[in-house]
Amino acid sequence: MTSNKQFYVTTPIYYVNDRPHIGHVYTTTIADVLARYHRLLGHDVFFLTGTDEHATKVVDAAAEQGVSPQEWADTCAGAFEDTFSRLNMTNDDFIRTSQDRHKTKTTQYVKALLASGDVYLGDYEGWYDAGQEEYITEGKAEEYDFKSPFNGKPLVRKTERNYFFKLSAYRQQLLDFYNQCDADGNPFVQPQARKKEILNRIAEAQDVPISRTGMGDWGIKIPGDDEHTIYVWIDALFNYLSTVDTDDRRGYWQSGAIHLIAKDILWFHAAIWPAVLTAIQKCEGYGWVNLPAGVYSHSFWISEGRKMSKSLGNFIDLEKIDYYVETFSLDALRYFLATRGPMGTTDSDFAESKFAEVYNSDLANTFGNSCSRVTNMIGKYFDGQLPASQDEGLPVQEAVQAALACMERLDISGYAEAALGLVRQVDSYIENTAPFRLAKDPKKLPEVGTILYNSAETLRIVSVLLWPLIPDACEKVWERMGLDYKAQMDANTGQGQLEAWVAWGLLKANTAIEKGDPLFPRYQVKK
């Protein structure tokens, strides 16, 4: 056990009815950036992703393939695990809802809720969106003209004998909870623009069905009733708790989970989940269960200007993802996703021309170029030995603090922009002081040394800041500057010392600085 601050970040668990695509890779990349950032800060991080396997669409997909749901789930979950590992995601675990560890815990949670009366047996009739596996309120159904807002298919009128969760009993507690989070300055849902809709819906929330029949052996049974299976959404939400509900992991839960999701599944995370947790908390043995620290619901990637769809042929699937990694590098993909992604309330367009432009402007022409320029001059004028600085250095701390403040509010683009601002500061410092001109006069070499030391030192600080986004390139910079940050992190369960490492003056004069190949070779846009 460590006494360091704990940090728990999750992605949605993905349905195994399909292969991973850019949307799944996006949310997992954002989570990875956050996880790496917090480890760099020295926090004890738990980063969770996984797969959601008990949906009826998984049963259907399996039937289509002529295999059992478990076989189908194994294949697809394998594809997700494999993809995330190839993309160097640093998740600490990968939960599959068909695993016994999840099923056992989830059964216990539902049992506790049955005992407390928060889950009860009743009848339900309503409009059902089969694609989303979700009931829609009368008002919403009317608003959507009785068609699914997601796939346009007609909503189905359905009556079911079901187990219900007493959501209506938690309206006031949820609203109070939202107010308390706001008062504490930690809004529960981000971006805030989505909050109002959720609050309106909470104010009218009815009890929700949490079971279904006809799933056969696939899924988790309602304890004591073999006919009913726990509804896939309740089953899925519990993954966040079940995975860390062990003696050595409960601290992560208690540190306040950060759930990263997209806007399509906000209701479940922003209302049902905290209500279920509030109910669980009162049950015997679950007094330790607190509510998550926050839910961040981003928007969608569209592709080449249109909604991604297989029929339009603009789907960013695994083959396309591999193409970007091979053509531009994994760092480039991470950087583009993390800085140009739909973190706010508008969708982002994944277009190759934009990708190439961002790659060239931010990575090749800014960070990469500045590193080459400075190390080249150190090679040329100082034989690759880092000169000493004769002054106090550059004022970088303001930008560093601005970057850190951005990341605290999950503004990853702002964070990257603050770091790149430092690179631009180095570029204009070099333009203004013109060391390449001064170097012609041997008497001015100490001055040139000062400029190059200050520039290299700033780039070192930038490489620490950018590591969560572009780890491969930053680790190369560290190697070339003789820095053992990676080794220090590896030796210390992944934890770094961000705040110490961004202090000015850590590079030692006379260190050998290796030039190396360009970090990000410029990309020639094809005509």
CB of 143 to ligand ME8, least distance (A): 22
CA–CA distances in Å: residue 158 to residues 150, 259, 382, 461: 19, 31, 78, 59
Q: Is 349 in the site for ligand ME8 (CB under 6 A)?
A: no
User: Per the structure block, which two tokens stand in for 287?
Assistant: 């007094």
Using CB under 6 A, pick the residue from 13, 40, 58, 189 that binds ligand ME8. Answer: 13
| Closer residue to ligand ME8 in complex, CB, 7/14 | 14
DSSP for 424-457, please give it.
Answer: HHHHHHHHHH-HHHHTTSGGGHHHHHHHHHHHHH
| Closer residue to ligand ME8 in complex, CB, 264/447 | 264
Token pair 């799944």 is found at: 24
Q: Is 301 in the site for ligand ME8 (CB under 6 A)?
A: yes
| Closer residue to ligand ME8 in complex, CB, 234/483 | 234
Q: Is 237 in the site for ligand ME8 (CB under 6 A)?
A: yes
Nearest-CB residue for ligand ME8: 23
| Closer residue to ligand ME8 in complex, CB, 26/355 | 26
Q: What are phi and psi of 340, to 5 degrees?
A: -115, 15
Q: Is 69 in the site for ligand ME8 (CB under 6 A)?
A: no
Q: Is 27 in the site for ligand ME8 (CB under 6 A)?
A: yes
CB of 6 to ligand ME8, least distance (A): 21
**Residues 87, 33 contacting (CB under 8 angstroms):** no
| Closer residue to ligand ME8 in complex, CB, 207/235 | 235
Q: Is 23 in the site for ligand ME8 (CB under 6 A)?
A: yes
In the chain the first and final C-alpha atoms are separated, in Å, by: 56
Q: Which stretch binds ligand ME8 (CB under 6 A): 6-14, 144-152, 195-203, 358-366?
A: 6-14
| Closer residue to ligand ME8 in complex, CB, 197/264 | 264
Q: Which of 523, 415, 514 is CA-nearest to residue 466?
A: 415
User: Per the structure block, which two tokens stand in for 241?
Assistant: 């708790």
CA 300 – CA 263 distance, rounded (Å): 8
CB of 278 to ligand ME8, least distance (A): 17
Residues 260-279 that bind ligand ME8 (CB under 6 A): 261-262, 264-265
Using CB under 6 A, pick the residue from 6, 9, 24, 167 that binds ligand ME8. Answer: 24
CA 107 – CA 260 distance, rounded (Å): 25
Q: Which stretch binds ligand ME8 (CB under 6 A): 215-223, 285-293, 300-308, 400-408?
A: 300-308
Taken in order 83, 86, 90, 92, the sign of the CA dihedral is positive
**Residues 328, 350 contacting (CB under 8 angstroms):** no
CB of 265 to ligand ME8, least distance (A): 5
Using CB under 6 A, pick the residue from 14, 163, 367, 504 that binds ligand ME8. Answer: 14
| 169-172 contacts, C-beta under 8 A, 24 or more apart | 169/118, 170/205, 170/275, 170/278, 170/279, 171/202, 171/203, 171/205
Contacts of 30 (CB under 8 A, 6+ apart): 260, 298, 337, 338, 341, 343, 412
Q: Is 84 in the site for ligand ME8 (CB under 6 A)?
A: no
Kindly state the number of chain residues that form the binding site for ligand ME8, as judged by CB under 6 A.
18
Alpha helices in 158-226 (DSSP H): 171-183, 195-203
CB of 309 to ligand ME8, least distance (A): 10
| Closer residue to ligand ME8 in complex, CB, 10/389 | 10
Q: Is 386 in the site for ligand ME8 (CB under 6 A)?
A: no
Q: Is 15 in the site for ligand ME8 (CB under 6 A)?
A: yes
Q: What are phi and psi of 268, to 5 degrees?
A: -60, -40
Q: Is 12 in the site for ligand ME8 (CB under 6 A)?
A: yes
CA–chain centroid gap for 313, Å, is 26
Q: Is 133 in the site for ligand ME8 (CB under 6 A)?
A: no
- Strands 6-15, 44-52: pairing is parallel
Which amino acid would we find at residue 471?
P
Q: In this structure, how many other beta carbons lie within 10 angstroms of the beta carbon of residue 210?
A: 24
Token pair 């200050």 is found at: 454
Q: Is 236 in the site for ligand ME8 (CB under 6 A)?
A: yes
Q: Which stretch binds ligand ME8 (CB under 6 A): 116-124, 145-153, 257-265, 476-484?
A: 257-265
Q: Is 253 in the site for ligand ME8 (CB under 6 A)?
A: no
| Closer residue to ligand ME8 in complex, CB, 12/435 | 12
CB of 403 to ligand ME8, least distance (A): 25
CB of 390 to ligand ME8, least distance (A): 50
Which amino acid would we find at residue 94?
F
| Closer residue to ligand ME8 in complex, CB, 174/266 | 266
Residues near ligand ME8, by CB under 6 A: 12-15, 23-24, 26-27, 52, 236-237, 261-262, 264-265, 300-301, 308
